[in-house]
Copies of this chain bind each other. A is one copy, B any other.
Amino acid sequence: MADAPGDLARLMAARFAGAVEAPAEAGPPAAEGLVHDLLGRSSVRRFRADPVPEPLMATLFAAAFSAPSKSDLQQASVVRLADPARRRAVADLVPQSPWVAGAPELLIFLADGRRFPRVAALSGRPFANDHLDAFFNATVDAAIVMTCFLLAAESVGLGGCPVSEVRDQASALADLLDLPDRVVPLAGLALGWPAEEAERRVKARLPLSLTVHTDRYDDGGLAAALARYDAATAAADPRPAARQRAVERFGVADRYGWSEDRTRQYATPARADFGQFVRAKGFYLD
């Protein structure tokens, strides 16, 4: 067993690009377990061909749907793509993520605002909360279940990556999966046993000084922290022009860190029709 505090300190330094002061004593977390796994986790996009055994899939679904749920309404669902032709059709909807086609399992997690109003109708009761909160709660439930599924899968050695790109084609996906009103996709999850050559780079996160606030929200340190973070992320993964985004619009950057990359991506509109889709599916966002 590794030296637990030392190991956690190393993981924390990598995760926060040295911007975190690892506690002198890390406390109870051991050198194994979820804390350790989270600090060292990374998404996996290359898989071995081996299938995920059925009993394991059943166990992971059971674990994931054990997740906490808003008011116990349990407003999450998932569609598992088993039919190869249908899985291929879904993969075709995410052309920017060609690796999805090579995943042994593909799941679509759903915000399910349909089930509970049906339960109310079956009980002869009004559903008196038909406003933004209904959409919000179903979305959050689905996010919690997806997170539990992913972490449970990772805890047994599987790897995966959420694919929110499926929402770029929300209507086409809804048609393909027969999604009824008030059931909308949150994200896909491609899953399998990591290929040996799969890149497992720990992605550095923003310093906790920006994300963890005490007593009141205060992001006064953003610009200074960002300069350090951008320098660290640029140094950790230097990108030649060929790996820079939208060079035709923004040119080639000497130092290509997190801000440079992320702001290039979000300078182009995406999913502008998502609200329209959600409304067309019967959710009120008032």
Contacts and interface: CB of A to CB of B under 8 A. Distances in A.
Nearest to A174: B217
Contact of A29 (B59, B125, B270, B274): B59
A50 interface: no
Given A143-B143, A275-B286, A285-B132, A125 B23 contact: no
B29 A56 contact: yes
Given A29-B59, A129-B266, A217 B179 contact: yes
Contact of A62 (B12, B127, B148, B218): B12
A212 interface: yes
A183 B35 CA distance: 27
A78 interface: yes
Contact of A38 (B21, B63, B74): B63
A20 B62 contact: yes
A216 B68 contact: no
A67 interface: yes
For A20, A80, A206, A215, the residue with the greatest tally of chain B CB atoms inside 10 Å of its CB is A215
A167 B34 CA distance: 29
Contacts of A128: 266-269
B129 A269 contact: yes
Interface residues of A, number: 132
9 contacts: A38-B67, A41-B66, A66-B205, A79-B215, A110-B217, A116-B266, A118-B219, A139-B139, A144-B147
Contact of A262 (B27, B119, B180, B258): B119
A43 B60 contact: no
Contact of A177 (B61, B67, B144, B216): B216
A16 interface: yes
Contact of A212 (B41, B65, B222): B65
List the 7 closest pairs (A to B, CB-CB), nearest first.
Answer: A23-B55, A132-B275, A27-B56, A143-B143, A34-B155, A38-B63, A125-B263
A166 interface: no
Given A23-B54, A80-B212, 8 more contacts: A8-B59, A34-B151, A68-B162, A71-B262, A72-B262, A80-B213, A119-B259, A119-B263
